[in-house]
Each structure stands twice: as C-alpha cells, then as structure tokens.
Structure 1
Amino acid sequence: MTILRKLQSQATKEEKGQWQTKSASDGEDGIWKIHIWIRTALFFQLTKILLLLSGAVTVRRGRPAVLQCGVDPGDTLLSVTWKIHLRNTSCIISFKIEEDNTKTSDSYCTTRMRSDNLSLEISNTEISDEGKYNCEVVNDKDTFTRDTSLQVLAQPMTFLKLNSDGCPECGAIGGNPPAEISWIPHSDEINTIQLEESNQTWTVISTISRKRINGNSVTCLVSHPTFANPWKGEITLSGK
C-alpha cells in the first residue's frame, strides 16, 4: 500500500506540473476528466493485485472475515496457533490435540475471534481488527507458518458545499482507508487535509480556491475502494 501511495503522489505531482500551464477550456476539462477516471481505475486495480499477492484479506466493516492457514498438515496435526498483531495490542488463539485425541484450546483475544481447525473466523469485523495474523501449524514432522494481513473497509459519507469563504469544499467522512479527492477542472491551489478520527476512520476534506477557477462550476470526484465508481458532485459558484 505504501508503494501505491508513493506512485499516486508522484503521478499527482507530474499531473500538476503538466496542467498548470494549460487553460481550463472545455476540451481540456474533458481530457482531464478521462485522465482522472483512468488513473483511479488503475490505482484500485493495482491495489487489488498487491493485496492478492500479499495474501491479504479484505472485508467490509461489520461483516464476517475468515482467514486460512493455507497449509496441509496431513493426518498428524498436533497444534494450531494464531499470533495476532493489531495496531494497539497483540493476542494469541491456539488449540492442541492431546495424546488421547481430545482437543484443548486457549484464547486471549476478543470473543469475536474463533479458531476452527485451520481457519480463524472473525465476526462483526471492526477497523481495530486490522493487522498481521500469523498462523503456526505443527504436525509430527514439521512446523509450518503463514502470515496474512486483514484490511477492514469502511465506506465514507461524502459532501460538496461552498465554505464560509465561498470556496468549493469537498469531503469524505468516516472512511477507511482515506478517500482520494480530485477536482475538475484541476487547479494548482487545492488544499487537502486528512484527519484520523477516534474510531480509526478517516476524514478527508479538500478545498479549491475560487480565484483560480475559470467558469461557473466545478466538479468533485471522490474515489474509495468501497465505491464501484467514483462519487461525483458538481457545484455552481455564486456571484460568478
């Protein structure tokens, strides 16, 4: 995810340099709109590919998640241990097959997490469940380990308005990960801030200076993994 953010940041800087020297004519606005859509589509496709290659599991907040060990211990399974490393805490869930074939288990995690043989089930997922999950499987010959990461998605609420200074302000509230906001036409005077809330969601607010806007309206595009397509809002500038 860090690689993708660096690539996107670099692309944004390159785009800004390219478009600062151009006027905001209707033809150029159309090209910029196509550029935004292509960039957004490529970004989220790359995100999905990297998550797949890394063995990551993605789930919507509030829905159940199932993580697999992904190994076959054969008929001589002795124990399974999940070592879970979250943002603010760590815990362990394990079970062991005793000599008389009885199963004993221990859990020091939330009751929403339950180990079922080679899988870990999490009910009613929360953003606080995000982290690294290490599965250790032991049989009579060897020990196998596998790391899996969990990402919990939260869909943001969006808005577009004129702020107290009369400038267009676009926002995405309560999302995870942070939403990406773009403007059409583009401007070199855009201020975007990200705020992490107490519930570990993100608020993103982007403001564009009306002084550098040619025309009577602007369009805001909000992109997020929970959106099938970017959210789009258009607002008319008063007094122009």
Structure 2
Amino acid sequence: MKAGTNMKISGKTVCMFVLLTITVMRSAGNYKVSVTVGDSSVLPCPNNSNIITMLTWKISPKVGGPCSLGYRADTNMTDRTNCSDSMNWKFRPDLSPDLEIQQVGIAQEGNYTCEVVTPDGNFHGTYHLTVLVPPRLSLYCDEHGNAVCEAAAGKPPAQVSWLLQSNSSLEDKSHDNGTVTVLSRLAACNTSVTDTTCMVFHPAGNWTESIACCSSGKKKYILCVSITICLLSIMIFMVLIYYTKLHSNRLCHKTKPPETDPIQNDTTEVEPYTTYVQKENVIYNSVSDLTVGQNLSQELWPET
C-alpha cells in the first residue's frame, strides 16, 4: 500500500516536472521578423538566467542546407556547422546569446531557433525571418500616350494604384529569386486631368510619382504628323522636278533641227560667192561687148 502511494507521488512529480519543462520551453514562443534586403538584423535569444550552460542556434533557410552555431560553457568552445560568415554571435556567446545577421539576403530567409540550457531551465525561441525587397519604381508613357507604372522585382509583390483613376489593367510577372514585378497600365487618358499619379504600397515603403502622358502623347502625335507632312512635301516637290525635267527633255528632242551633210553646208556657204562671181562676169562681158562695138563702129566710119 505504501509502495503504491510512493509510486503515485513519484508519477505526479515526474508529470509536474515535464509540465513545468514544457511551460518553460514554450514561454519563449514564436516570432516573426521582417528585414529589408541589405540591412543587418539581430535576433535575441530568450534567456531568463545570467548563467548559460549550453547555447545552440539552429538555422533552416529556404534556400540551401541547414546550419548551426553552438557553445558549451564547460569547455568554453564554440562550434560552427555550414553557416556563412555573415551569421555570428552579437558579442560573445558567454556574454550575449543574440545572433547577428549582416547584410541580409533573400537566401537567408527562413526559420531561426535558439535553444538555451541554464541552471534555471531550458529556454528556446523561434524566429521566422522574412526578407523584404523594395521594388524599383518606374513611371513612363508608352507609344500610345498611356501612363505605365511599374514596380519591378519586389518581395512581396507591391500594390499599385492610380490617384483619381480607375480604368487600368494589372500584370504580374514572377522571377526565380522569389521577387515579383507588378505593372499597371492606365488604359485611357482623362483630358480633364493633366497629370496622373501612381501610388505604390509595399512593406518596405510607399512611393508616389506623377507624370503627364496625355499632353506628351498629343505633342508626339503633332510632331509625327508634321514630320510626315514635311516628308510628303519633299517627295512631291522632287517628283515635280523630275517630271518637269523629263518633259523639257522631250520637247528639246522634238524641236531639234535635222542634221545636215557637211558637204551640203559647204556648198550652201559657197553659193553666194559663186552668184557674185557670175554677176561680175556678166557685167564684165557686157562692158567688153560694148567697147568692142564702139571700136568697130569707129573703124567703119569714113574718114573726113
């Protein structure tokens, strides 16, 4: 009877110890931590005692294998398994069990669990580390004069909206590193509003930018029309010049006098001289005939 009573007491003691241990172990709880990529982060290790017997950090990142950092007070030894140099104790494990992560990257996102063994009990805490990547904001006008707001490579995806505008479309594009590009296009311009404002909301920050696409689109349209008219005018002018030149060549070709034989030209040039010589000969012959006639008449006359 007494033995049974002692067994019951021992059982109750063990149960109470287990429950107390579970209570102490769960007192730390789970935490969620968000860090912007490139920044440093310090994860405190829950500890209600100034004396640390053993300390262990267990890291399970989403990318790559697990790693661990350990410390034993009785040997004053630290152990590092598969952890990068960017992860280390904040100071020294015997002074502070906190873990420091320098220049946090996307690959370091995951779960970080700290386990501490002290004379007062065991403590542990788990952190779920989320890495925030702020998007690259880009606001521009497309070839149709519509406003395009792009939040590129953000994590988590950014929320994009327009101020005082509702007629817009949304596109998402996921990348291999876990980031997402969100693109919003304002389908039509509102002629009553000169500027359109894009608003980007993200856990790493919020941004707003404005742009006037409608007016710039009209200016581009007018410029394009002006250039087209100038090019057409130049082409028409060149065609007219070519046509005029071609027509004039045809007229010149039609009115050109026929070519004559050089011998005939020489004969034509000689004819005036020949006519002149003939006329002189005729005159000379007439004078000679008259002179001869006079001489004959004088000879026939009787002497007185």
Deviation (angstroms), 1:199? 3.8
Gaps of 5+ in 2: 1-28, 220-304
Larger radius of gyration: 2
Gaps of 5+ in 1: 1-52
Report SS of the residue matched to 2:83.
coil
Contact 2:49 2:120 in 1 (8 A): no
Q: Are 1:185 and 2:164 counterparts?
A: yes
CA distance in 2, matches of 1:83, 1:119: 13
Q: Are 1:224 and 2:202 counterparts?
A: yes
CA distance in 2, matches of 1:235, 1:204: 21
User: 1:157 corresponds to which residue?
Assistant: 136
Quick one: which amino acid aligns to residue 160 of structure 1? L
* Cα-to-partner distance string for 1:80-114 (whole Å, 9 max, x where unaligned): 22222222234132323253x42231322222111
> Given the two structures, how large is their TM-score scaled by the length of structure 1?
0.65
Deviation (angstroms), 1:54? 6.7
Contact 2:56 2:69 in 1 (8 A): yes
* Cα-to-partner distance string for 1:41-87 (whole Å, 9 max, x where unaligned): xxxxxxxxxxxx97333333222211111222432x22222222222
The 5 Å alignment of 1:18-167 reads 55-75=31-51, 77-97=52-72, 99=74, 101-115=75-89, 116-117=92-93, 118-140=97-119, 142-167=121-146
Across the aligned residues of Structure 1 and Structure 2, the Cα RMSD in angstroms comes to 2.7
> Given the two structures, how large is their TM-score scaled by the length of structure 2?
0.53
Q: Indicate how the Cα distance of structure 1 residues 159 and 104 shifts in structure 2: closer, same or farther if over 3 A, else same.
A: closer
Contact 2:132 2:156 in 1 (8 A): yes
Structure with the greater relative contact order (CA < 8 A, sep ≥ 6): 1 or 2?
1
CA distance in 2, matches of 1:142, 1:54: 18
CA distance in 1, matches of 2:151, 2:30: 28
Q: Return the structure number with greater helix share.
A: 2
Q: Return the structure number with greater strand share.
A: 1
Q: Are 1:215 and 2:189 counterparts?
A: no
